Amino acid sequence: MKIAVANDHGGFPLKQTVIAAIQSLNHEVLDFGTDSEFSVDFPDFVKKACLAVQTKQADRAILMCGSGVGVCISANKIKGIYASTCHDTYSAHQGVEHDKMNTLCLGGRVIGTELAKELVLTFLNADAFSGEKYQRRFNKIVALEDDL
């Protein structure tokens, strides 16, 4: 898989851990920045990574900011992006399998590197969306995107 990665200054401390975890599974990383702890606006970086998923240049995305909340809110504004902040492994796989989550959001000031690794591995190893059981609900999510 190709995984788009983006972060702001608050997520920067997790960046190398996340990239190493992705690469440990032999997935390709598409790095959309930022590359320092210099203050930046996370929506600028979220947009780049999520557009890669939207246009199928990437299969999934992992976004990081201080709490994970800002990048999550921004990502969910982009059609076809289904993002969630996850700080537990159950949500990291269940979001993919039940809700078609394609973007994992992490808080660099909330979790440490070991949990970040676990979450990335769980998210990327999650079984594909099990459409039969959950497709009706997912269709209603898409309808919200299209109707509003």
Catalytic residues: 65, 98
Cα 24 to Cα 13, 34, 79, distances in angstroms: 19, 21, 30
Token match 């201080």: residue? 66
CB 125 within 8 A of CB 93: yes
Give the span between the Cα atoms of 114 and 52, in whole angstroms: 27
